[in-house]
């Protein structure tokens, strides 16, 4: 945790131009930073999002309105309940895939932070029969196995997006008790018990995907993975 805090520190110094007001809660400020870091490191682009469970009320969580992560400010953060109803009243500017977050928080009390992303490095594993496995220590958490969510099984032919609570629930079921899952033809979701940790996991999941592909090509598939 201490090391991952450095990543956050780095972002602040390196110039993420957030202007949190004194009254903004620490968790909101950190969520804004998490958005900026993920954008800065190429984990998310104009799409992809990160949420944090409310540390004072585990039945609520925080997620930005539909805006690119690299632009998120404290004013963009929406508070949701676990059915993904905005606590402050109905609004129309949420991410269409916000149900990913609510349904996972509902199913997984141990999870306090979630990233959904489309980094190009992870997509090939979701569309092939090659499991994503940990190649280096920074991605050791992948050693528990990375299930692949097939939206055809629960949603038939769709636009691939998790647009309903039911699809979010199906994704949470595929995730099970693992830290991360791939979504076929779409991207990935990664969870942790901590916002700092989930940012690091998303970043190193991306890096590990590239490493694994490189190692497999280099060696004809004879790769030594991490022990569980």
Site residues (CB under 8 A) for a copy of itself?
A: 2-4, 6-7, 9-10, 13-14, 46-47, 66-68, 70-71, 118, 120-121, 123-125, 127-130, 134-138, 140, 152, 157, 159-161, 184-187, 207, 210-211, 213-219, 222-227
- Taking the least distance from each CB to a copy of itself, the nearer of 193 and 216 is 216
- Taking the least distance from each CB to a copy of itself, the nearer of 55 and 150 is 150
- Taking the least distance from each CB to a copy of itself, the nearer of 31 and 211 is 211
Q: Is 97 among the catalytic positions? A: yes
Q: Count the Cβ atoms, other than its own, within 10 Å of residue 56.
A: 8
The pair of three-digit structure tokens given for residue 10, joined into one six-digit string: 């780095």
- Taking the least distance from each CB to a copy of itself, the nearer of 2 and 21 is 2
Minimum CB–partner distance for residue 15 and a copy of itself (Å):
11
Which of 30, 97, 103, 121 is an active site residue?
97
Task: Classify burial at 67, counting beta carbons within 10 Å of its beta carbon; exposed 0-12, middle 13-18, buried 19 or more.
Answer: middle
Minimum CB–partner distance for residue 60 and a copy of itself (Å):
25
The pair of three-digit structure tokens given for residue 177, joined into one six-digit string: 């008790």
Distance between CA atoms of 74 and 79, rounded to whole angstroms?
11
Beta strands in the chain (DSSP E): 49-53, 60-64, 77-81, 113-117, 148-149, 180-183, 187-192
- Taking the least distance from each CB to a copy of itself, the nearer of 107 and 140 is 140
Minimum CB–partner distance for residue 132 and a copy of itself (Å):
10
Minimum CB–partner distance for residue 211 and a copy of itself (Å):
5
The pair of three-digit structure tokens given for residue 101, joined into one six-digit string: 């977050």
- In sequence order, which ranges of 72-182 are alpha helices (DSSP H)? 99-107, 123-126, 151-155, 165-175
Minimum CB–partner distance for residue 120 and a copy of itself (Å):
5
Distance between CA atoms of 135 and 156, rounded to whole angstroms?
34
Which strands sit side by side in the sheet containing 60-64, from one edge to the other? 77-81, 60-64, 49-53, 113-117, 187-192, 180-183, 148-149
Q: Give the residue numbers annotated as catalytic, written as ranges.
A: 97
């Amino acid at each position: 945790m201490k090391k991952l805090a450095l990543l956050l520190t780095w972002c602040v110094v390196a110039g993420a131009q957030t202007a949190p007001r004194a009254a903004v809660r620490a968790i909101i400020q950190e969520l804004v930073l998490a958005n900026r870091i993920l954008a800065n490191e190429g984990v998310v682009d104009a799409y992809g999002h990160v949420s944090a469970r409310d540390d004072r009320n585990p039945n609520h969580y925080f997620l930005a309105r539909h805006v690119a992560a690299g632009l998120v400010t404290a004013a963009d953060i929406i508070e949701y309940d676990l059915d993904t109803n905005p606590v402050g009243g109905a609004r129309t500017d949420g991410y269409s895939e916000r149900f990913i977050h609510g349904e996972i928080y509902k199913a997984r009390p141990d999870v306090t932070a979630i990233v959904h992303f489309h980094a190009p490095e992870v997509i090939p594993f979701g569309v092939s029969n090659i499991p994503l496995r940990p190649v280096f220590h920074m991605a050791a958490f992948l050693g528990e196995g990375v299930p692949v969510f097939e939206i055809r099984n629960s949603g038939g032919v769709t636009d691939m997006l998790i647009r309903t609570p039911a699809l979010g629930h199906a994704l949470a079921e595929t995730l099970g008790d693992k830290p991360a899952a791939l979504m076929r033809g779409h991207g990935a979701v990664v969870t942790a018990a901590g916002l700092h940790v989930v940012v690091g996991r998303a970043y190193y999941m991306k890096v590990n995907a590239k490493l694994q592909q490189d190692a497999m090509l280099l060696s004809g598939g004879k790769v030594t993975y991490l022990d569980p």
